[in-house]
Amino acid sequence: MKKTNIILLVVIAVAIGVIVTMVGDFSTYETFATAREKEGKEFHVIGKLDTLQAMHYDPIKDANLFSFYVHDKTGESHKVVFYGAKPTDFEKAESIVLTGKMEGNEFHCNKILMKCPSKYKDDQVAVSNKQI
């Protein structure tokens, strides 16, 4: 075989390896039940804040400890422990995406993404009512 053919095969093999590892990193939103089945593995769980349960955040005692309860898309509610500061306007979020893993009966997350209500939503309703 020629040197160029060997180099080309190596480059193709490396490219396939990179593609396979990138595809393995894509994840979907899971539930607490799935996270509990595979305890220790990191998941993305989407849900809503459980406003009936109390949130705990005491910045004087520990500014990097925030705990709250979330309902996942199946309605299952679990305590979530976040090692970081409480996000601004957390209570106003329509939905929450948590990245973390189950540890016992608690979900320990290292990242919180919030979907907040659109500030233009009320304006659109007002405009559509005026046009009628």
pLDDT single digits (tens) 51-61:
888 899 988 89
- What confidence score (pLDDT) does residue 23 get? 64
Domain span at 64: 28-118
- What confidence score (pLDDT) does residue 65 get? 92
The tokens describing 21, both together, are 């590892």
Reported as a pLDDT band with limits 50, 70 and 90, residue 43 is confident
Nearest to residue 70, comparing CAs of 26, 25, 102, 28? 102
131 located within any domain: no
- Supply the CATH number for residue 41's domain: 2.40.50.140
Beta-carbon count within 10 A of 42 CB: 15
Are 91 and 114 spatial neighbours (Cβ–Cβ below 8 Å)? no
54 located within any domain: yes
29 in the Ramachandran plot: left (φ > 0), alpha (ψ -120 to 50) or beta? Answer: beta
Reported as a pLDDT band with limits 50, 70 and 90, residue 111 is very high
Instruction: Give the DSSP H or E segment for 1.
Output: none
**pTM for this one?**
0.67
Contacts of 66 (CB under 8 A, 6+ apart): 55, 56, 57, 81, 82, 83, 84, 85, 86
- What confidence score (pLDDT) does residue 128 get? 47
The tokens describing 89, both together, are 């306007």
Q: Which residue has the higher pLDDT, 24 or 57?
A: 57
Q: How many domains is the chain built from? A: 1
10 located within any domain: no
